[in-house]
Structure 1
Amino acid sequence: FMWLTGNVTPDHNTINRFRSSRLKDVLKTIFATIVKFLVSEGFVSLDVACTDGTKMEADANRYTFVWGKSIHTRISRIAEQLEEIWRYAESVTKQELRDSAPITYQDITPEKVEKALCQIDDALNGVDADRKMKAKVRRVRKSWPEQLRKYESQGKILDGRNSYSKTDNDATFMRMKEDYMRNGQLKPGYNPQISTNKQFILNYTIHQCADDTSTYPLHMDDFHSLYGRYPDVSVCDAGYGSEENYLYAFRHGIETFIKYNYFHKEQKRNFRNDPFLSANFYYNEETDGMYCPMGQRMERLSDAKRITDNGFVQ
């Protein structure tokens, strides 16, 4: 490039603008075109895809963050305090206020809280109420709606995640690999996933979740969008082993070489020879029941349902 431009070296910002604006929507297409060329020349195959991920630290301040649980706790606290103030106002005025407050956490909004506090303020002004309570109502009337608007905007940025960095809203806090002092730290970062074949990269995707398990369907969907097909064989480590991913691969005709978390543990002799482990109980297909070593049938106590980040129901 230096030779083509007569040794006129472009500025860093020029390269960055070209990459971020001109190539933003076509870079993945160019990448796929090169891979298809390599396939046609016999250098690489789309039949087998070996997939793994890694944590990549974001260029963001690791000490300025927002946690989803913290927002939930603060909103719950506002709802509880609002209920206490509402009940106090009703006890002092000796009458029910106009609306059916208090507001629950599920339907709390800045507008509803502002309206409720306005009603409480008006009701307390006409009676002999505690001065401290009146002052508290006036104080929270100014602060709570503003706080809730901030939590509302933060919730939109989170979009189902548990955290984000204030200096890079797309980055999620996740536990990085241990450093040389064996300190595993939470840092803002991303979870890039890469599929390879014969040391060539076939596909790459960037994810905001820390675990590899939930990235598999999204990564394979992206593979299909690039090449119009899924790999015949998928090779991954135990971090991808889940019911959701096995079913996904089966539905799309992908043969999997993906261990599950307990695979190595089940190979050990003390695990296989322990008759009192529930995994080793005898299963009777006719009665659809598990039996302990004493021959007693294990009765089902309850059913549990869990929904993954991708909406898969277990």
Structure 2
Amino acid sequence: MFKDYNMNQLTLPLDLEIKLQKNDIAFVIHELVESIPNEAFAPFIQHTGCPSYHPRMMLKIILCGYTQSTFSGRRIEDLTKDSVRMMWLAQGYEPSYRTINRFRVHPVMQELIRQCFVQFRCQLVEEKLIDLEAIFIDGTKIEADANKFTFVWKRAIEKYEASLIEKSNRLYEELLQHQIIPAIERESDEQLSISELKEMAEKLEEVVADYTEKIEASTQAEERKALRSARKTPKQLLKQVSEWVTRKEKYARDFEIFGTRNSYSKTDQDATFMRMKDDYMKNGQLKAGYNVQIATEGQYTLAYGVYPNQTDTKTLTPFLDRIETDFFALPKHIVADAGYGSEANYQDILEKRHCEALITYNQFRKEQTKKYKQDPFKTSNWAYDEKTDTYTCPNGQVLTFRYTSKRKDKDGFERTFQVYECENCTGCPFRANCTKAEEGKHRKLAVNVRWAQQKEYVRMKLSEEKAGHLYAQRKTDVEPVFGFLKANLGFTRFSVRWESKVEIETGIALMAVNIRKYVARG
């Protein structure tokens, strides 16, 4: 005997909600999107044309699709036709993949996703799943939707431009020397600008046109032959200069796209070529990608940002600004790994934001070892006399203060160094181990007082039981989020291009991770 099975008979219930389990992920998505204020959806209202799908419904099905590791618009469209939870969220509507893709990259989606994170955080606080004591910050690189062979390198463009400048300057001098064209009023003696190259091309064009008129007016075969021969050189030079104008315009566009970066992809010009962790062959292959930064607590992502910088050090300050502006006020403790430890970042957190920076620096672990502390050639181990403001080297020689030096990095951050110099290094038996300075020159020591104080602050803080426990918690709080995002959700490559759209998709993917963890909490 079999259970009754009849395809020609209407079966109840028709309400799809009854088919879902009580703790189904669709209910969490529904409640989260419904908690977003109506004002956030106002920009989608249209007073003319065919009525559009409700943005709440569109946001729900996109979030639901990402929680099921479905990132394609076509696949999400398919789910609205054969998935019970998606059919319930869409309430029978079946938007096309084009509609889904257009909505996913809509500029207003940035605000909707931000509201999702704000509302989700409020829900976590209300349910006491996070305590707002600290945020844990980390970053990962995710591959862009770009061809890995469409790279443009800044160093190569600088090399080509320098060669073009040299050739154009030399040609200009030769044209003046042979009186082919008159002098051009130049803005700079170093290089010809684009407008000056265009003016040079116009004057060469006049020379060529003059030869052409003479050829057409001449009736003598020998004379016409001589004129054509004379026209050949300026005609070739005109073609070359016109090509230089095109190249120089391209280089100017390239430098504008580069900004502070060293590379970009022709397919997605906002993407930078970075070294990815999935380089299993260890051959240093670079891929176009983005640096995704997140702030977590309780393994929930509370804020995120997307940056084209390869290193985490330069992303911390703009990311903290974004958190304060778009998401929430910073808690007392900011926890991150050694990749964020720098003088500029410590100064920003301690002096500007008045928070506690539980962030190590590159040499932190090494400086704690017995070998490092007992190494007499490490300048941090040299004896310092505060009264005389002098250091003593391993050979017993005194280094006295000489002058103050200031250095600026590419971002304009200024570092101040106190420079000390040894009185006499002649005949020192430790010279080879102590300095690489030439014979006859004395050992110099540049001390960054502020950096030394910041490192001492970090060492003191992390020696405290509470701060040490928070820092140790970082590995189990923020890193599992990236593991879930890439390994469990399968989100290893963006499906949209340009930074603004990539940022939207990042928010959707991270919120999908949040929702899945929230549902699985038991």
TMscore range, shorter length: 0.7 to 0.9
Q: CA deviation at 1:90?
A: 3.9
Q: Percent identity?
A: 34
Name which of 98, 119, 142 aligns with 1:13.
Answer: 98
- 2:114 and 2:327 in contact (8 A); partners too: no
CA displacement at 1:296 relative to structure 2: 2.5
Matched, 1:114 2:198: yes
Aligned residue for 2:178? 92
Residue segments in structure 1 that go unaligned for 5+ positions in a row: none
Q: Following TM superposition, by how much is the alpha carbon of 1:237 offset from its aligned partner in structure 2, in angstroms?
A: 0.7
More off after superposition, 279-288 vs 139-148:
279-288
| Aligned twin of 1:76 | 162
Deviates more, 1:214-223 or 1:294-303: 294-303
Counterpart mapping for 1:28-107 below 5 A? 28-93=114-179, 97-100=183-186, 103-105=189-191
Structure of greater Rg: 2
What SS is found at the alignment partner of 1:192? strand
CA deviation map 1:24-75 (0-9, x unaligned): 3332123222212322332223320011101101111000111222222222
Q: Which runs of 5+ in 2 are unaligned?
A: 1-85, 212-229, 416-522
| Residue 273 (structure 1) shift | 1.3
User: 1:117–1:33: structure 2 CA closer, same or farther, 3 Å change rule?
Assistant: same
Greater share of residues in helix: 2
Contact 1:58 1:171 in 2 (8 A): yes
Provide the residue aligned with 2:398 in structure 1.
296
- For residue 83 of structure 1, what is the amino acid of its counterpart? N
The correspondence of residues 1-314 of structure 1 with structure 2, limited to 5 A, is: 1-5=86-90, 7-21=92-106, 22-93=108-179, 97-100=183-186, 103-105=189-191, 108-116=192-200, 118=202, 134=234, 137-251=237-351, 252-293=353-394, 294-297=396-399, 300=402, 303-309=405-411, 311-314=412-415
Give 1:283 deviation, angstroms.
2.9
Q: 1:272 to 1:71 in 2, by over 3 A?
A: same
Which AA in structure 1 matches 2:409?
A: I
1:278 is matched by which residue type in structure 2?
T
Aligned equivalents of 2:332, 2:162: Cα separation in 1: 49
Could you report, residue by residue, the CA deviation over 1:238-267 in whole angstroms, capped at 9, with x for unpaired residues?
000000111111021111111100111212
- Residue 164 of structure 1 and its aligned partner are, at CA, apart by 0.8
Deviations 1:216-235 (A, max 9, x none): 11111111113452121011
Q: TM-score, normalised by structure 1?
A: 0.86
Count residues in correspondence: 310
- Secondary structure of the residue aligned to 2:88 is coil
Q: Relative to 1, partners in 2 of residues 1:103 and 1:135: Cα closer, same or farther, differing over 3 Å?
A: farther
2:142–2:289 contact (8 Å) kept in structure 1: yes
Residues 247 and 5 of structure 1: is their aligned pair in 2 closer, same or farther, counting only changes over 3 Å? closer
Hey, what's the Cα distance between the residues in 2 that align with 1:258 and 1:225? 22
Deviation at 1:122, TM superposition (A): 7.1
The 1-side partners of 2:207 and 2:383 are apart by 68
